[in-house]
């Protein structure tokens, strides 16, 4: 399973949380909170190589990463603290995790299916709403806050959902920079949330090791495949020339 999910991550940049966590819970019977905690550390480790690659290619908009992180990282810490408090009070948080997981999967599915619509809607708002750019920074922080709630509880949202938010907020940003920026934000968010779960005792080290052993060669293979498989549409209307437009 680690190899298969790793190959998809290497090929598409998404699939870690939205595939791994449901598989761990529903196929392998792992307790939801353990599945989430283990997957978060798995995601943090596997995304490091992608961030390094995108940084070398200069396909990360670090200003946007900072804005997202300003909302997501403090919120993730607060969310983990609340989970810790619920656990200390004897509350079972598996039901909470399962519920938020369902919501996050629905939003992620909608973001994947409607990414073109989100981008077009963002372009229309940018064109017709006066002063949109001055609101885009706070809106980016708000997007980070939403991810800071969803990711620690469900391990889902930092990938496809985060990319959908960026497509809406920065429709002129080239696709490769959407992917790189989303990845550069997802890695530290997953690390913060995963370390929080490690403190809660909701990480299975043996399961994490098994997933990593399978996923690392899968990611390498997927990345190699991604270099030769063409995209559906080479004429991306957001093109490289639009860099100055989003800034």
pLDDT digit string, tens, across residues 174-196: 888 888 898 889 989 999 999 99
| pLDDT confidence of residue 14 | 63
Gap between the Cα atoms of 214 and 201, Å rounded = 23
pLDDT > 90 in the chain, percent = 28
Neighbouring C-beta atoms of residue 235, cutoff 10 Å: 6
Joined together, the tokens standing for residue 35 give 């599945």
Give the residue among 131, 191, 185 at the shortest CA–CA distance from 158: 185
**What pLDDT does residue 38 have?**
93
Task: Pick the closest to residue 16 from 100, 205, 29, 38 (CA basis).
Answer: 38
Positions in the chain short of pLDDT 50? 234-241, 245
pLDDT at 118 (0 to 100): 85
Question: What is the residue whose two structure tokens read 């960026």?
Answer: 166
Task: Map out the domains of the chain as residue ranges.
Answer: 2-227
78-114 confidence digits (pLDDT tens): 999 999 988 887 777 888 888 888 888 888 888 878 8
pLDDT at position 107: 84
Q: What is the pLDDT of residue 13?
A: 60
For residue 87, the tally of other CB atoms under 10 A from its CB is: 15
Residues 6+ apart with CB under 8 A from 48: 187
pTM of the model: 0.85
Task: Determine whether 202 is exposed, middle or buried from the number of CB atoms within 10 Å of its CB (0-12, 13-18, 19+).
Answer: buried
**The predicted structure's pLDDT at residue 90:** 74
The predicted pLDDT at position 236 comes to 46
What mean pLDDT value characterizes the chain? Answer: 83
| pLDDT attached to residue 208 | 93
């Amino acid at each position: 399973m680690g190899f298969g999910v790793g190959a998809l991550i290497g090929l598409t940049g998404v699939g870690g949380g939205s595939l791994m966590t449901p598989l761990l819970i529903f196929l392998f019977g792992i307790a939801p909170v353990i599945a989430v905690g283990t997957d978060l550390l798995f995601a943090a480790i596997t995304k490091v190589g992608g961030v390094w690659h995108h940084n070398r290619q200069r396909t990360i908009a670090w200003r946007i990463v900072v804005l997202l992180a300003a909302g997501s990282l403090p919120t993730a810490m607060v969310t983990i603290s609340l989970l810790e408090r619920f656990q200390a009070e004897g509350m079972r948080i598996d039901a909470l995790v399962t519920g938020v997981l369902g919501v996050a999967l629905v939003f992620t599915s909608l973001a994947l299916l409607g990414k073109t619509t989100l981008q077009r809607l963002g372009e229309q708002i940018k064109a017709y709403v006066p002063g949109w750019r001055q609101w885009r920074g706070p809106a980016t922080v708000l997007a980070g806050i939403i991810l800071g709630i969803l990711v620690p509880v469900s391990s889902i949202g930092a990938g496809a959902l985060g990319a959908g938010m960026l497509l809406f907020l920065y429709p002129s940003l080239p696709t490769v920079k959407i992917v790189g920026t989303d990845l550069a934000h997802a890695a530290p968010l997953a690390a913060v949330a995963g370390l929080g779960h490690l403190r809660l005792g909701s990480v299975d080290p043996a399961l994490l090791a098994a997933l990593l052993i399978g996923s690392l060669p899968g990611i390498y293979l997927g990345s190699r495949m991604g270099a030769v498989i063409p995209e559906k549409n080479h004429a991306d209307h957001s093109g490289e020339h639009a860099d100055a437009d989003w800034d």
